[in-house]
């Protein structure tokens, strides 16, 4: 029985096309989707980038934030976070404060079954993120 080239290409594509698993990488920006038990406010934009120099930074929804961090294997710890001091809508400011407070409780990271990056505190639900496209 002869196989068509299309079937051969399809079979090759199915066996060798698994996406690379998400990893926590330096100099890559991750977009926050959830903070603990709550999703982000619609159209808000929170990000985390881990610099190779031990400094983390990003957008907290209203202000830019920055903190030191240490990482060893699956352990990840942030120092006290600072931020710019722009004033935004009260709901955005509340979300920003929850994010910055959650960030300093992070103790480890992992990747979920759906490939989502999770930053875990000692207790409670994680900060959940996706790699930013582009």
Express each pLDDT in 73-122 by its tens digit: 999 999 999 999 999 999 999 999 999 999 999 999 999 999 899 999 99
pLDDT for residue 4:
47
The answer as to whether 8 is a domain residue is: no
The answer as to whether 1 is a domain residue is: no
The CATH number covering residue 68 comes to: 2.40.128.270
The answer as to whether 42 is a domain residue is: yes
Query: Per-residue b/e over 12-51, b at no fewer than 16 CB within 10 Å?
Result: eeeeeeeeeebebeeeebbbbeebeeeebeeebebbbbbe
Express each pLDDT in 35-55 by its tens digit: 999 999 998 999 999 999 999
- Please count the structural domains in the chain: 1
The answer as to whether 56 is a domain residue is: yes
Per the structure, the complete domain to which residue 51 belongs is given by 20-131
The answer as to whether 6 is a domain residue is: no
User: Which has more pLDDT, 132 or 68?
Assistant: 68
| pTM given for the model | 0.81
The answer as to whether 73 is a domain residue is: yes
The answer as to whether 49 is a domain residue is: yes
């Amino acid at each position: 029985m002869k196989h068509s080239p299309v079937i051969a290409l399809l079979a090759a594509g199915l066996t060798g096309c698994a996406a690379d698993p998400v990893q926590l990488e330096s100099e890559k920006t991750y977009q926050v989707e959830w903070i603990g038990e709550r999703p982000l406010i619609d159209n808000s934009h929170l990000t985390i980038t881990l610099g190779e120099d031990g400094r983390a930074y990003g957008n907290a929804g209203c202000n830019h934030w920055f903190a030191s961090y240490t990482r060893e294997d699956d352990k990840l710890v942030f120092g006290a976070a600072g931020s710019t001091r722009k004033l935004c809508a009260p709901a955005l400011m509340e979300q920003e404060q929850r994010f910055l407070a959650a960030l300093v409780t992070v103790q480890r990271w992992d990747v979920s079954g759906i490939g989502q990056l999770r930053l875990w505190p000692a207790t409670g639900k994680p900060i959940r993120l996706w790699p930013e496209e582009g």
